[in-house]
Amino acid sequence: MDYTKILEEIYSEITPLLSKGKVAGYIPELRRVSKDQFGMAICTNDGDEYIIGRAEKYLSIQSVSKVFTFALAYKNFGEKIWKRVGREPSGSKFNSLILLENEKGIPRNPFINPGSLVIADMLYKKYRYPLNEVLKFVRELSGNPNISFNTSVRNSELKYANINYALAYFMKSFGNIKADIPQLVDFYTSHCAIEMTCVDLARSFRLFSQQGNNPWSGEKLLTSSQAKHINAVMMTCGLYNSVGDFAYRVGIPAKSGVGGAVVGVIPEKLTIAAWAPGLDVNGNSIAAVKALELFTDKTGLSIY
């Protein structure tokens, strides 16, 4: 397969879409990002890599970080995590309070904000410095020791984190959050403010395309079943309120974030990260989703 040529075709086909959509508007740091940018990286399980555009530019990974925290919690606590968080798509906004009341403080899945806050609570209890552990994990997976979080993004997020505080306090009232809420929300917003490149993201997600093995050393970090489960949760819950449309158009497990990244996994074969800041109404990057759709159409690679 000539991935270089495929990436070139994709780039030229998605270029008209770069003017579409809106960049995330809830904090100034994200509002300032220029829409006219696109990057994409592919990492095969054989170790070959292909990039195009701004694939080596640092971007705000936002909700993509929820996959890393989920994987770290799952690695530590195994099936026990499912007592405190579900694994069904929510069909609601990623920070919705409504379902939580009906479902007694147990969030639908680990990728909506309340679910990720519960995961953060697990890590908070386990580690003295949970953010350091998350950073250590992504640095290990990506092979990039320079990955860090952006403090001004984190600080801005904290100023506008009222709904996340509300979600956390509400769950605490049901006994499903143990930590001190301001500290927990600080940890959560900090991991959302991590910056990585498309190359870092694609390299890291090889954990899930390689049955839970460390992408570099081959060491088993997750069991094969755990990797399968994480891919399944990405497939069913990874794209906000467009999981059905994404499954239909792209057909691979993936996770998106409001920074404009979408990172996907084709188990046993490769990983793929695309980034473009213009978002649709659900918070998914218009051009990145299209790029992944073109990739699976052109290559015939998908899980369906």
Closest to ligand GLU by CB, 212 or 260? 260
Token couple for 201: 């993201």
User: By rule CB under 6 A, what string of x and - marks binding of each residue 96-115 to ligand GLU?
Assistant: -----------------x--
Token couple for 63: 């909700």
User: By rule CB under 6 A, what string of x and - marks binding of each residue 152-171 to ligand GLU?
Assistant: -----x------x-------
Regarding 140 and contact with ligand GLU (CB under 6 A), the answer is no
List Cα–Cα distances, 67 to 34, 63, 143, 180, 271, in angstroms. 26, 8, 17, 23, 14
Pairwise CA distance, residues 300 & 304, whole Å: 9
Regarding 55 and contact with ligand GLU (CB under 6 A), the answer is no
User: By rule CB under 6 A, what string of x and - marks binding of each residue 208-247 to ligand GLU?
Assistant: ----------------------------------------
Pairwise CA distance, residues 104 & 141, whole Å: 35
Q: Name which position in 62, 156, 231, 285 contacts ligand GLU (CB under 6 A).
A: 62
Number of residues binding to ligand GLU, judged by CB under 6 A: 12
Give the residue among 204, 174, 213 at the shortest CA–CA distance from 67: 204
Regarding 184 and contact with ligand GLU (CB under 6 A), the answer is no
Q: How far is the CB of 266 from ligand GLU (least distance, A)?
A: 23
Closest to ligand GLU by CB, 95 or 155? 95
Q: Which residues contact 1 (CB under 8 A, 6 or more apart)?
A: 299
Q: How far is the CB of 46 from ligand GLU (least distance, A)?
A: 31
Which DSSP symbol is given to 285?
Answer: B
Regarding 204 and contact with ligand GLU (CB under 6 A), the answer is no
Pairwise CA distance, residues 224 & 151, whole Å: 35
Q: How far is the CB of 202 from ligand GLU (least distance, A)?
A: 18
To 10 degrees, the CA torsion angle through 182, 185, 186, 191?
Answer: 170
CB-neighbour burial class of residue 279 (10 A; exposed 0-12, middle 13-18, buried 19+): buried
Q: Name which position in 52, 141, 258, 276 contacts ligand GLU (CB under 6 A).
A: 258
Regarding 276 and contact with ligand GLU (CB under 6 A), the answer is no
Closest to ligand GLU by CB, 27 or 247? 27
Pairwise CA distance, residues 19 & 123, whole Å: 39
Closest to ligand GLU by CB, 65 or 210? 65
Closest to ligand GLU by CB, 113 or 142? 113
Closest to ligand GLU by CB, 41 or 261? 261
Give the residue among 246, 35, 215 at the shortest CA–CA distance from 139: 215
Token couple for 168: 């956390």
Q: Which residues contact 205 (CB under 8 A, 6 or more apart)?
A: 43, 67, 263, 264, 265, 271, 273
Q: How far is the CB of 150 from ligand GLU (least distance, A)?
A: 12
Closest to ligand GLU by CB, 10 or 112? 112
Regarding 69 and contact with ligand GLU (CB under 6 A), the answer is no
Binding region for ligand GLU (CB under 6 A): 62-63, 94-95, 113, 157, 164, 189, 192, 257-258, 283
